[in-house]
Amino acid sequence: MAKTKIRIKDIAEQAGVSVGTVDRVLHNRGEVAIETKKKILEIAKANNYQPNLIARALTSKKVCVFAALLPNPTEEDIFWIKPLNGISEAALELEQFHIKVEKHFFTHYNEEDFVKQTKNILKLKPAGVVFPPIFKKESLEFIEKLEKRGIPYVFLESRIKDCNYLAYVGSDSNHAGRVAANVVDNSTPIDGDILIINLAKNLENVHHLKKRTQGFLNYFMEHGRNKGLKINIEIPTSKSQIITEKVDHILSTHKNIKAIFITGSKVYKIAEYLIKNKLEDIVLVGFDPIEQNIKYLNRGTIKYLIGQHPYQQGFKAVKKLFEHVMLHNSVKKDEVLPVNIINRESFKLYGLEISIDQ
């Protein structure tokens, strides 16, 4: 027969004290005589007393504020709507526990705006923070300040391993780059050149794109079948005119490019260029089944997209903070989500999966 779970009332009767005294001891509130406190704790330990933390969180009147910091989900950076939706849904579920998630946004690939928003978050004094460490240098500065204040933080989209983060939810950027490399390798002539485009300025500081690029190149150095050149360029803006100038120059000097790999989600920008210049025989691969990319995937201009469950990243990141801060549960430090290879035939199924998740 299962052992009856002991209650605070039972501990009070065994210790010969009031329920209020036991509550003060177990929840570390108020002054209690040392001997009485020792006796209560011994009884609780002997009976394996476990406080009902969920009930306590439900009855608590104190509002717990988390902060989320994300790139502004503009039409050009629509990818970030997905993790934002996940964060919002988790916040809605946790409202009953008096959880509030304050959302802060910075201009994508703008380090100064990122730093500005981190300062606003520190003024807020949140109980926890969720953010993607897109800029390594600025993220490390933010992390140092969070750790000094004892504020736990959860990464999404990418992670910086050499710091004391509470948890990470997302794909492995290096592995995602290797998956993309495998797809390109099997879709490109063995002697064809491959162009890698990073639509970002200062790639060295853009953590996840740098890791994807490294993974992509490492795959070919280790066991890729393709023996062509791997040409790596940065385009610091997604403006069509600048993209045209940069890609025109590369294609005029490298006549054997048979595939293009985009390390981020703005694959549609290159698809538009290929269509305009009648170069749709080039294999185009990149990240994320956002609406603009799906349009060109369906047309066949984009051959493959790598999906990484952004909605789940946002949703699970907030839930991990709640588990740690409110329920004092241990959480899995690295929850690495699988990546999906999406083609013209499978994107509708993936879209159905997204609608179910949301």
Residues 295-336 have pLDDT tens digits of 999 999 999 999 999 999 999 999 999 999 988 888 999 999
Do the domains spanning 64-171+310-337 and 173-307 agree at the CATH topology level?
A: yes
Fold of 64-171+310-337: Rossmann fold (3.40.50)
pLDDT in tens, 56-90: 555 556 779 999 999 999 887 889 999 999 999 99
* C-beta of residue 216 within 8 angstroms of C-beta of residue 181: yes
Question: Where residue 357 falls among pLDDT bands split at 50, 70, 90?
Answer: very low
Q: Write down the pLDDT at residue 53.
A: 52
At residue 120, does pLDDT exceed 80?
yes
Q: Write down the pLDDT at residue 1.
A: 37
Kindly list the distances between the CA atom of residue 294 and the CA atoms of 184, 268, 289, 311, in Å, as whole numbers in the listed order.
18, 9, 6, 17
Instruction: Name the DSSP class of 162.
Output: S
Domain boundaries, the chain: 8-51, 64-171+310-337, 173-307
CATH 3.40.50.1370 fits 8-51, yes or no: no
Q: Look up the pTM and report it.
A: 0.79
pLDDT in tens, 206-228: 778 999 999 999 999 998 999 99
Please classify residue 146 by burial: count the beta carbons closer than 10 Å to its beta carbon, then call 0-12 exposed, 13-18 middle and 19+ buried.
Answer: buried
- And the tokens for 329? 């549960």
Question: Where residue 353 falls among pLDDT bands split at 50, 70, 90?
Answer: very low
At residue 246, does pLDDT exceed 60?
yes
At residue 127, does pLDDT exceed 60?
yes
CATH fit for domain 173-307, picks 3.50.50.60, 1.10.3210.10, 3.30.70.980, 3.40.50.2300: 3.40.50.2300
